[in-house]
Amino acid sequence: MTTPGEEMHDLVRRLYPLCRSITGDGVRATLDIVGELIPLTVHEVPTGTQVLDWTVPQEWNIRDAYVADSAGRRVVDFAASSLHVLGYSVPVSATLPLAELRPRLHTLPEHPSWVPYRTSYYRPDWGFCLSQDALDALPEGEYEVRIDSTLADGHLTYAEHVVPGRTADEVIVSCHVCHPSLANDNLAGVAVAAFLARALAAQQPYHTYRFIFAPGTIGAITWLARNAERVSGGPAAAGGPGKVRHGLVLACAGDRGRLTYKKSRRGDAEIDRVMRYVLAASERPHRIDEFTPYGYDERQYCSPGFDLGVGSLSRTPYAAYPEYHTSADDPDFVSPEAMEDTLAVCREAFRVLDRNRRYVNLSPRGEPQLGRRGLYDALGGRSDTRQAQLAMLWVLSLSDGGHALLDVAERSGLPFDAVAAAADALHGAGLIGA
């Protein structure tokens, strides 16, 4: 029987060969596969649509590309890896001497056997990416250059999956689907998001969880532009869309490094506190980073005009490992165990987030008599009786409408689960109200 980690790894391997970009059929094919695991609502936004300060670009698709030597041998071949072409390359058909072609051949001299990932999204250009070893092996001479691509009016594609909760207010989980054959920086986050959605659906969560699978930057900006009501703050309107209360961006979710959480721009959003607590309580090796306006789409969700409480969870952060944006970020670079660990932390964080209520003590003048309400009797024989009693007293003490259960756990030093169980018991006895 396969583990969730192995299933996620299989998904990464299946998605890896597809040529993704910020638009095009590679994104659609990726969403088709993810849609086999969870139902998706796919959105197509036409070229030229104004989205905040940006405009949806032309759609890019590619069928073939190569550099061939005088014998017709393909020395650079898109069919071997989608990384071999500069992303968004315009169509080309030419014969060029190596000296003229060389400026359009991108390599990584410091890692001579790796192929870099390069793009030219918003400036018409073309080029190829190859290893430095392959470039060094090319003799002088004429080379046939062919890029069979189209750059034309079309659509930007993104998708959503919603797990309904008991409240309409939302937690967004966002991942980018625009990178080609990169396993950690792209696909591991997609896989963890898909499996997290399935796990939440089985739990009937308190919040509504909205999963966003979108191209980086322009995709998140497009989503924000099209969801003004959802991100404007304030209470959910009756019968209207819920408001985004919390969020998490998933990226670089499958390498073997320690977990890293990057705070929201606010720095003290509830998701920041929950992630800090969960990571510390788990005793996993981890790091907490302050917000910077560079990175993944947390910078879009946290931009001043929205200022959403959205953090970012990764293992080794972007650009902090040598394999980042290279052919070395392949399926062997990510592990089932690491993805399963990332998934477990997400599930625990959202479990805490869902239970982190604020209560009001309905019998605040002196300590209420717990024994006659059967609350102490219910604890009889438990190995953690004293802890459970303390948790009840702490919840009663701090249930003033201003403290959430996470505040109680942090101040008391008691486990969150013990505090939440005490709150459930006290609420059932009518001693606290939400």
Q: Annotated binding site for Zn(2+): which residue ranges?
A: 179, 185, 325
By C-alpha distance, which of 215, 166, 272 is closest to 30? 215
Helical pair 416-428 and 336-355, crossing angle rounded to 10 deg? 30
3-state secondary structure of 181: coil
Q: Among the residues of 257-404, which ranges form H helices?
A: 270-282, 298-301, 336-355, 385-398
Helix (H) or strand (E) holding 198: helix 189-201
Which tokens in the block code for residue 309? 């409480």
Distance CA(28)–CA(216), nearest Å, equals 15
Q: Is the dihedral of CA 158, 176, 187, 340 positive or negative?
A: negative
**Is beta strand 92-97 parallel, antiparallel or unpaired with respect to 155-163?**
unpaired
Distance CA(121)–CA(60), nearest Å, equals 9
Per 3-state DSSP, what percentage of the chain is helix, strand, and coil (rounded to 5)? 35, 25, 40
Residues annotated as binding site? 179, 185, 325
Task: Provide CB contacts within 8 A for 227, sequence distance 6+.
Answer: 241
With contact defined as beta carbons under 8 Å apart, do 204 and 211 qualify?
Answer: no
Find the length of the chain: 434
What are the C-alpha distances in Å from 7 to residues 197, 245, 336, 374? 14, 31, 8, 46
In 69-187 the beta strands, taken as DSSP E runs, fall at 74-77, 92-97, 105-106, 128-129, 142-152, 155-163, 170-176
Helical pair 189-201 and 25-34, crossing angle rounded to 10 deg? 40
Q: From the CB of residue 433, how many other CB atoms can be counted at a distance below 10 Å?
A: 12
Distance CA(152)–CA(146), nearest Å, equals 18
Edge-to-edge, what's the strand order for the sheet holding 170-176? Answer: 41-46, 155-163, 208-214, 170-176, 244-250, 310-314, 259-262, 286-289
By C-alpha distance, which of 336, 337, 341, 335 is closest to 313? 341
Distance CA(42)–CA(33), nearest Å, equals 12
